[in-house]
């Protein structure tokens, strides 16, 4: 179909690909091809929690998929939250396969420093008490920053899914999983380069009512390494694909038309 683009959605911390189910509908209706990548956080994935660590194992589903594409195929990579780290590393590995990277209220690293530095900055600036009932693990002692997290029910209701329906929050409680940050791998010398990752257009979608990655932190990432375009969804919580479906879908359709 003329004008058809291939969207590849990458999951975020603590969830598989299920949050994208509402966005799939309008994009598929518009004729676009949709692929969602399970990075190993869902129960349906055969890998155990320990198996999806280190980073090379965690990234395997996405890199394997991109490697399987034909030489002339290009995709629009969409990463949400921690998924921004995943798509950045994939853009570095397969720059020829990616037409544009879309960061939806996501961590957007720069090639000037390691992705781990960005995660550490975020965690250091996030008071533990603000994480409410989240379950945290500290591999290197309680005086260090956390190595993994599993969102708690109260935290999800109050912050992650704050503008979503009760039925969505109920699904989230059933789907939530523990996610490791793989800090040891992504804290090494930056695996991102100007020639590869830096050569691909990036789009940032800001969520104005996000209490997980707050707007101030989103703006700092944008200012540190400005993307090609910035879209803002006012009133969007951390999960715009569920709370602002129409607005996010329209932005993604606009991106497909432009890129």
Contact between 93 and 66 (Cβ < 8 Å): yes
Q: Which residues are catalytic?
A: 81, 210, 238
Q: What is the largest CA-CA distance in the chain?
A: 55
Tokens of 136: 């945290």
What angle in degrees, to the nearest 10, is found between the helix axes of 245-258 and 21-29?
A: 50
List, as own/partner pairs, every contact residues 216-220 make where C-beta atoms lie below 8 angstroms and the sequence separation is at least 24, other chains included. 217/122, 217/125, 218/105
Partners of 33 in beta bridges = 6
Sign of CA dihedral 107, 60, 78, 20: negative
């Amino acid at each position: 179909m003329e004008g058809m683009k291939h969207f590849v959605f990458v999951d975020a911390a603590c969830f598989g690909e299920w949050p994208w189910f509402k966005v799939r509908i309008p994009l598929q209706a518009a004729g676009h091809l949709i692929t969602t990548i399970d990075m190993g956080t869902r129960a349906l994935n055969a890998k155990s929690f320990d198996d999806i660590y280190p980073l090379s194992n965690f990234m395997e589903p996405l890199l394997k998929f991109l490697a399987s594409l034909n030489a002339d195929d290009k995709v629009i990579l969409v990463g949400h939250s921690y998924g921004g780290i995943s798509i950045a590393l994939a853009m570095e590995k397969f720059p020829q396969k990616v037409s544009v990277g879309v960061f939806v209220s996501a961590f957007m690293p720069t090639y000037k420093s390691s992705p781990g530095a960005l995660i550490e900055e975020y965690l250091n600036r996030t008071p533990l008490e603000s994480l409410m009932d989240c379950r945290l693990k500290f591999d290197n002692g309680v005086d260090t920053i956390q190595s993994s997290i599993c969102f708690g029910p109260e935290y999800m209701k109050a912050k992650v899914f704050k503008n979503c329906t009760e039925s969505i929050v109920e699904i989230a409680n059933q789907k939530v999983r523990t996610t490791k940050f793989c800090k040891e791998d992504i804290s090494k010398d930056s695996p991102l380069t100007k020639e590869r990752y830096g050569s691909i257009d990036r789009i940032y979608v800001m969520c104005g009512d996000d209490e997980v990655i707050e707007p101030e932190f989103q703006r700092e990432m944008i200012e540190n390494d400005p993307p090609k375009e910035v879209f803002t969804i006012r009133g969007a919580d951390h999960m715009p694909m569920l709370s602002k479906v129409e607005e996010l879908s329209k932005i993604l359709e606009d991106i497909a038309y432009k890129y």
